[in-house]
A and B are shown apart, each in its own frame.
Chain A
Amino acid sequence: MNQSPETFDTNAIQALNDRQLRAALLNLASTFGERRKLAILSVNDWEGLRAQARSIKDETLANLDQYLEQFVLKAENNGAQIHWALNGEAAQRLILDLLKEKNVRRIVKSKSMTTEEIHLNEALERAGYAPVETDLGEWIIQLAHETPSHIVVPAIHKSKRQIAELFVEKVGIEPTDNVDELTKTARRVLRERFAEADVGISGVNFAVAETGTFLILENEGNARLTTSLPKIHIAVMGIEKVIPRLADLDVFLKLLPRSGTGQQLTAYQSLITGAKRQPDDEGPEEVHLVILDNGRSRMLAHPVTRQSLACIRCGACLNACPVYQQIGGHAYGSVYPGPIGAVITPQLSGIEKARQLPFASSLCGACREVCPVKIDIPELLLHLRAEVKQGAASRAASQTGKVSKHRIERLAFRFYAFAWSKKLTYEWGMKIARVFQRSIARKGRIGKVSGLFAGLAPALEAWTDWRDAPTIAERSFREVWREAEKTKGK
């Protein structure tokens, strides 16, 4: 189940053969797509709101150092303890040290992509802890030893039956297909975990610089319990989660749930401003905030990649993406799937490891159309494609011997750019191709190509495996035009 971005091609084919998965994805896309459209109608000026959100993000990212500093000062004043982590390992170490120092054993977690990103659960388990995910979907995939396949709906790939079987096996209930029964089971087990936990670990949706408050949005109440019942609360956030003012929340709280799940508002919004102050207050005694870079400042440096940090993880681009709709999240082999995953994974984990992902898109632009913060994902994909090709070129230059696929492609594009920048070579090239195609064309089309031609033109083979190809016309448009001009002149 642990797929990697390096094998995206084979992961994808595996996913395409999973009928259950594809039925679930089809359902996800249409349900959330429809709900999103309806939810948007309940806002007066959706486009204006999007533009406003983007400009808030742009302003924040342009002055991220200042806003982070302001947020940290305020949060410390509120009694939160701040920790900085340059990368995932640093964050893991920090959290493990903290747990040891506080001598805690039992950990509950609420759904957080950032802790998935730094593989916190694995690190905790290696150190002998048994952290319990308390978001229902997240708990299900934890029981199944899987990773989330969607940012917002982590267990979307699992059917009711699979979940029931999982509960029978792992929780020891009697076989049932009653959803109520399953939810009750989850509630019962998770309640016990909440009651005995010493530490709650969560993510952060927004961090308000003006007040030092941070926010978590959710629908089940587990985040609220995670952050308030245990004595210690540890929240992990990326540096990009900061927004300047409390009033800006108005914009984002309208955009995020509508874009992601088509809700007007999530069922719970927990605003956390420090630890408890008086002995009689409710809430944790200690609040720790781990602020994570992990490649983000690299994204910040370039004006094109910077917009990746505007993402509010609503998941709308996943639901709208035709590629995600066919293959789901696991095929991307990383924590962040879909269009936004295809652009941030290569930036987070290094472009070499994830070099297939920027190409895993038809560039249809549906993601850009739905993104509430107007991230131009196609622009980012194109930017990263150029980077991949540059990297591949330098790799190929240092290579001797074996001719790589990339070198053939590069050669083909060089040849194309050369030949097609001259009228003569363009016209003659096409005339020659016209002669060549005679051996494979039938009745004006080219069916499945194999044998010698497939070896010569792998692209033609890949195309004609599934689709007929058109033939080069007997006379090109320019030839027709030339002739018409000649007769006109006579």
Chain B
Amino acid sequence: MANDLNPLRAEARVERTPDPCTVVIFGASGDLAKRKLVPALFNLARERRLPGGFSIVGYSRSPLSDEALRALMYEAVVRFSSSGPPTAAEWESFAAGMFYCQGGYDDVAGYTRLKERLAAIDAERGTSGNRIFYLSTPPSLIGPIMDTLGASELARSAPGSWTRIIIEKPLGYDLKTAQELNAHISRIFDESQVYRIDHYRAKETVQNIVAMRFANGIFEPVWNRRYIDHVQITAAEAVGVEGRGGYYEGSGAVRDMLQNHLLQLLALVAMEPPISLEADAIRDEAIKVAKAIRPLVPSEVDAHAVRGQYTAGWVGGKAVPGYREEEGVSPTSTTETYAAIRFEIDNWRWAGVPFFLRSGKRMTKRAAEIAVQFRQVPMRLFSTTEADLHEPNLLVMKIQPDEGLTLRLAAKLPGHAIHLRSVNMEFRYGTSFGVRSSEAYERLLLDCMFGDATLFTRRDMVETGWALMMPILDHWAASGERNLHFYEAGTWGPEAANRLMDEGRAWRRL
């Protein structure tokens, strides 16, 4: 890190900045670049988190000039920047480092022009040959882009500089294609150069799981099978497929959410303490616990996993169509818009503690959380009349929309008689720390510039995730409509999901 050599930054309380670099966005005229990437980079620049000379090169097939790209991105930043529109001076400064290069994704001549442009930027703006290639393109283009980067020698780092590549999900369609994709990547890039984005990991609360577990001594003694009854991990969306029916038909809830995001959350909740906060130390522990998850065999799938699909209903005060009536969706589609799975982890800490994962579209409301349900006290000292509404302790890590922690405790109601009620102790980021949390993409882009891969998914985690999901996906694919449960839009999913719960457990109403 160049900053470490700058004596003016030694022991200073100012935030360090990454090495000067250029971010090359493939698919620069696309939606992701406009909605997320460039606004995130602008916010970082506004907060002075980017190095001097930082540059962006947009690359796509569209015929655009530097000026046209800047105009396009100005509109995008005005519309999508979470910190507000830029002032004239801010934009002038940011846009001065923005360039465009036109070319096909498998066009070596285009990449040669890109290479020349990057060399010129290095000379003019001091970016020192450091590059990030951001593949903001459909999955089908990942292979051609990587091949051409390799062929044009852009994948290699010049001495004393670095080259990194960021890849968006989906990382394969199944285990086989994920392995093929990873093998393809590894032929051109070293694993240390590869940053697979999982924007869920960059949310404050997700990072706070590690802080909460390993910076607070009170949790570790009870973080095991003796005290925890079960864990529920939920990612519920109120929206449907939002005009992306064609994409979703080839995906579904398991591929879209459970195989990556929810499994990552499970790993963070269940992993052993890492030996350090180094990226690989955390990822080593995460993969260890992921490998300890007991895979389902085909005969167990119906008992441990439930899939559902929404029908027409009512969400947010509006009537909404069923999934099969959405644009781009087959009227006989069996794609799951809801999935719930019960997993068990075969290790000493978690043996016998079920982990329930669920995700769905068109549910009652948008909410994502991890709920750790503790066991009941061993002996009930207090009466259990209808006046007593206390339940076992519960620790909820809320991821969205209102990031924070809630701990449920039992307390005595005021009065002569002893009646108990559950009360919540709440910690909310928005009220406790009145500072704006970084957007996920801001955090991830900055981490990549620093070379910190902690929040990115390593190859082995991707493949382990797929390996766990394949028996379920294969079983469902072979079952036609047999075990597809329909649920009305605006509800918490199909009734059948309740059967995954037993021994007095129930899905939480969020």
Co-complex (A, B): no
